[in-house]
Amino acid sequence: MSISAIFGAAVPNRCSTAASFGARKAAPRLGGGAAVIECSSRPQKKATAHHMKTRPRKTQPWDIKRRPTVYAPLPPLPPEWTVVSSDADASDAAVPPPTPQLATE
């Protein structure tokens, strides 16, 4: 709360503009008083701006030129279904096993 909000005196604003970062506009007092604009003396950065400002910087030339590790590609995945059959069961082996269904009542 500011001095002007308590006593109602016109105290010059220390902020350059009301739309500056951290500025807030207080609700007008009852009785038709003017609105008071208060500014934060230590505005805080929001999450992404803070992470961008405080991220570790690469300063050494060997570190600046360093690139991500390149790994060998992974082998192909095994097939999801493997058909194992003999000549007599060839017609039954191509059909996948039935999936269990929930009983509905």
pLDDT digits (tens, 9 = 90+) for 19-72: 555 555 555 555 556 677 677 788 899 999 999 999 999 999 999 999 999 999
Q: Is residue 16 part of a domain?
A: yes
Q: Is residue 3 part of a domain?
A: yes
**Residue 40: what pLDDT?**
78
Q: Is residue 77 part of a domain?
A: no
**Residue 64: what pLDDT?**
93
Structure tokens at 68: 């991500």
Q: Is residue 72 part of a domain?
A: no
CB 95 within 8 A of CB 85: no
Domain span including residue 23: 1-40
**Residue 84: what pLDDT?**
78
In total, how many domains does the chain have? 1
Q: For residue 36, with 0-12 CB atoms within 10 Å meaning exposed, 13-18 middle and 19 or more buried, which class applies?
A: buried
Q: Is residue 97 part of a domain?
A: no
